[in-house]
Amino acid sequence: MTPPHSEHYRAHECLDHDEWDQFVASHPWGTIYHTSTWKRVIEKSFRHIRGKFLVLRQSEGGPIVAGLPLYDVTSWLTGSRLVSVPYGTLCDPLVGCCDELASLLSYPIRLNEDPGYGKFRMGGILQADKMFFDERFLLTNTHKHHYLSLESEFREIVKTFKRTVRQSKNIGDRAGLEVVVGEDEAGLKAFHELYSETRKRNHVPTQPYHYFFNLVTELNRVNAISLLLVRLGENMVGSGIVIKFNGRATLEFLASSSKALALRPNHALVWAAIEMAHREGLKIFDFGRTNPEDQGLMRFKRSWGTMEADLAVATLGNNCKSSIYNRNSSVWKIPEFMSEELPAPLYATFSKFVYRHTG
Give residue-wise pLDDT tens across range 205-217. Answer: 999 999 999 999 9
Q: Each residue of 299-346: pLDDT tens digit?
A: 999 999 999 999 999 998 755 444 444 555 554 566 776 777 788 888
Are 31 and 37 in contact by the 8 Å Cβ rule? The answer is: no
Cβ neighbors of 233 (< 8 A, separation 6 or more) are 176
With respect to CATH, is domain 152-282 assigned 3.40.50.2300? no
- Find the angle CA(275)-CA(280)-CA(284) to the nearest 5 degrees: 70
> In the prediction, which pLDDT does 338 show?
72
Averaged over 251-277, what is the pLDDT? 97
- When pLDDT is averaged across residues 162-185 and rounded to a whole number, the result is 97
Which residues, listed in sequence order, are joined to residue 182 by a DSSP beta bridge?
A: 227
Average pLDDT over residues 133-140: 86
The sheet with strand 225-232 has its strands ordered as 10-13, 49-57, 64-73, 81-84, 120-125, 307-316, 137-149, 284-290, 248-256, 235-245, 225-232, 178-182
Provide the 8-state DSSP code for 132: -
Question: Tens of pLDDT along 105-124?
Answer: 998 888 887 776 668 999 99
Neighbours of 131 (CB within 10 A): 19
Instruction: Enter the DSSP assignment of 162.
Output: -
Q: What's the CA angle centered on 75, arms 112 and 104, to 5 degrees?
A: 30
Mind listing the pLDDT tens digit for each residue in 14-42? 999 999 999 999 999 999 999 999 999 99
Distance, in Å, from the CA atom of 49 to the CA atom of 358, rounded to the nearest integer, reads 9
Provide the whole-model pTM. Answer: 0.92
How many residues belong to the chain?
359
In this predicted structure, what is the pLDDT of residue 5? 45
pLDDT of residue 151: 97
Given a cut of 70, whether residue 232 has pLDDT beyond it is yes
pLDDT in tens, 68-105: 999 999 998 888 889 999 999 999 999 999 889 999 99
Please check whether residue 319 is in contact with residue 331, taking contact to mean a CB–CB distance below 8 angstroms. no
Architecture of domain 10-145+311-328: 3-Layer(aba) Sandwich (3.40)
- Rounded Cα–Cα distance for residues 154 and 312 (Å): 31
Facing residues of 241 across strands?
A: 227, 252
| Angstrom distances, CA of residue 57 to CA of 64, 93, 186, 246 | 5, 15, 46, 23
CB neighbour list of residue 204: distance below 8 Å, 6 or more residues apart: 335, 336, 339
Q: Are 114 and 89 in contact (CB under 8 A)?
A: no
Q: What is the CA radius of gyration of the chain?
A: 21
* pLDDT score of 119: 84
Residue 133's pLDDT is 80
Average pLDDT over residues 221-245: 97
Same topology, domains 10-145+311-328 and 152-282? Answer is yes
Query: What confidence tier does 259 reach under pLDDT thresholds 50, 70, 90?
Result: very high
pLDDT of residue 118: 64
The residue with greater pLDDT, 138 or 271, is 271
Q: How far apart are CA 113 and CA 318, in angstroms?
A: 10
Question: What's the confidence (pLDDT) of residue 329?
Answer: 52
